[in-house]
A and B are shown apart, each in its own frame.
Chain A
């Protein structure tokens, strides 16, 4: 026996057989899950079938032209452009409201976190009222409520603003979303440990720089998802502006439906809302990647 062999054991451990693969079996959870998935697939196919049926889609095999699809897009020809114009109205309305709401939410958040009792109370009351009442009531109040104060509003030269349904809608949605954004922003800023402020102060950094360069970038990571949720809720919540005569996507959909009693108008609306939300989701994914790049290896 040479010395070398001392380093290697002579008694190898028996290699073990791989564990026997047992079939997972049909547990209750698996049955339920499969049934659920099947139900989803069937309803998806059902919607496709309904769209095809509503548009008289005919598939032809063979014949002189070989394979072909014919459809009778009467509904889409007539109402498609209107639905698209409604889609644009909704996009514009949400974009403007979210933007203005974000601008308004910054001073409001500062007031909400202020030590000044008066400023704090104003911001608190505003957030409390807006979050505690339904958007539909707020829109109704602003639009039809303003209508009954016409002489007063004319006196103070504001009637031109409240006369227009579009301005009223933008005002109502802006006030609404801003209140929610205040809470998102405040939550994420207060979420930052106090030690960060103190450490920055110890280094002699001014407060605004601390906020801008240290607190805000971290707060944004926390608030990004709630912000995304808020926009999604706005996209869908904006559908009620139809009650104040704005023909947004939902308004156009209802109009098309009332002319045709054809449910496909609602399906197209659902698809368009899905497109909006999905696009937003993709953009949000990208922003998150960018903001959290220091956390990935």
Chain B
């Protein structure tokens, strides 16, 4: 409480003294990956679409700011934010302690469990480390899912791919026996024509230390005011039904979690 007070007073003082110096967020550049369907991806026409994108646009509308999307490879997405190529990361990024050392996050805007997918003809029975021992498991590198896989399935061979597109190709062709990712991502793929080869084997219990507290919007350290704006906007679109409207377009249940 005390600390919050001080921060609030300091922030007020900065606004009062700084005036012109305090950043007024009128135009926000939003960084995203654009290769993570159904959350954010690029259509064959080159258009950026997905749950993240629609939520982002709704949030910007709610905050009455102009937003511009910038795509950036996943591996470089945090350095790109720090380097100022864009002001926020809205790319299904889980809020983890490791990432919080480098950047700050808004409150979560969704939280869904991780899962394992296999080919339909697979004889794998379960998703425990024993079930998957000796198997090849694909995951996207630099993701919480890859870290979880490396730490949990120690008897399996973890194969890392630059984007989710590639591990899907390799699961289909049989180079890997299973893949691990967010259940929504896998479900979205399996429901599409491209994913007809495969099925969800089961969901995993998410581990807070690895998977974090759900996906949030990342901002540079020092831009916590922006993160707070987003947190408020998330609460607002949750309340006014806009979130549900977008959610229902993509998912059969509430992606926000508890």
- Is B160 within 8 A of A255, CB to CB? yes
Given contacts A148-B169, A242-B162, A247-B160, contact A258 B175 (CB under 8 A): no
Which residues of A sit under 8 angstroms from B250, Cβ to Cβ? none
Q: Given A258-B142, A261-B79, are A165 and B169 neighbors across the interface (CB < 8 Å)?
A: no
CA distance A257 to B170 in the complex (A): 24
Contact B169 A163 (CB under 8 A): no
Does B107 lie at the interface of the complex (its beta carbon under 8 Å from any beta carbon of A)?
no
A190 at the interface (CB under 8 A from B): no
Contact A147 B160 (CB under 8 A): no
In whole angstroms, what is the CA distance A147 to B171 when docked?
A: 9
> Contacts A254-B141, A258-B75: A243 and B162 contacting too (C-beta < 8 A)?
yes
Closest A residue to B74 by beta carbon equals A258
In the complex, A257→B142 CA distance in Å?
9
A106 to chain B, nearest CB (A): 33
Bound form: Cα–Cα A258–B169 in Å:
23
Cα–Cα, bound, A86→B110 (Å): 36
Flag if B175 contacts A261 (CB, 8 Å): no
Q: Is the CB of A147 within 8 A of B173?
A: yes
Distance between B81 CB and nearest chain A CB, rounded to angstroms: 11
Is B201 located at the chain interface by the 8 A CB criterion?
no
Q: Is the CB of A259 within 8 A of B175?
A: no
Cβ-based interface call for A40 (8 A) = no
> How many of B's residues come within 8 Å of A, CB to CB?
22
The answer to whether A259 and B173 touch across the interface, beta carbons within 8 angstroms, is: no
Closest A-chain residue to B167, C-beta based?
A245
Measured between beta carbons, the chain B residues less than 8 angstroms from A258 are 75, 141-142
Q: Which residues of A contact B98 (CB under 8 A)?
A: 259-261
Task: Write out the residue numbers on chain B whose beta carbons fall within 8 Å of the beta carbon of A255.
Answer: 141-142, 160
Report the minimal beta-carbon distance from B128 to chain A, rounded to whole angstroms: 24
Q: Is A161's CB within 8 Å of the partner chain B?
A: no
Q: Within the assembled complex, what's the spacing in Å between the Cα atoms of A255 and B147? A: 10
For B172, what are the chain A residues with a Cβ–Cβ distance below 8 Å? 147
Q: Determine the chain B residues whose CB is within 8 A of the CB of A260 once the complex forms.
A: 98
Within 8 A of B (CB), among A232-253: 242-243, 245, 247, 251
A150 at interface, CB cutoff 8 A: yes
In the complex, which of the residues A245, A251, A261 contacts B78, with contact meaning CB atoms closer than 8 Å? A261
Contacts of A251 in B (CB 8 A): 160
> Quick one: CB contact mask for B154-192 with A, threshold 8 Å, 1 for yes?
000001111000100110111100000000000000000
> A245-B159, A254-B141, A259-B98 are known contacts. Are A163 and B78 too (CB-CB below 8 A)?
no
Q: Which of A210-247 contact B (CB under 8 A)?
A: 242-243, 245, 247
Question: A163 with B162: in contact, given A254-B75, A259-B147 (CB under 8 Å)?
Answer: no
Cα distance A165–B138 in the bound complex, in angstroms: 13
- The reply to whether the CB of B221 lies closer than 8 angstroms to some CB of chain A is no
Instruction: Tell yes or no: B27 within 8 A of A by CB.
Output: no
| Interchain nearest-CB distance for B69 vs A (Å) | 23
CA distance A148 to B166 in the complex (A): 12
Query: Given A258-B142, A259-B147, is A144 in contact with B166 using a C-beta cutoff of 8 Å?
Result: yes
Bound CA–CA A163/B172 (angstroms) = 12
Instruction: Let me know if A261 and B102 touch, CB within 8 A.
Output: yes
Contact among A148, A247, A254, A261 for B173, CB-based, below 8 A: A148
Rounded to whole Å, the gap between the CB of A210 and the closest CB of chain B is 50
Shortest distance from the beta carbon of B165 to any chain A beta carbon, whole Å = 9
10 closest Cβ pairs, A-B complex: A147-B173, A258-B142, A245-B159, A150-B173, A261-B102, A144-B169, A243-B162, A147-B169, A163-B175, A254-B75
Residues of A near any B CB (own CB < 8 A): 144, 146-148, 150, 163, 165, 242-243, 245, 247, 251, 254-255, 257-261
- Since A258-B75, A260-B98 are in contact, a sample of 4 more A-B pairs with Cβ atoms closer than 8 Å, ordered by chain A residue number, is A147-B172, A147-B175, A165-B175, A259-B98
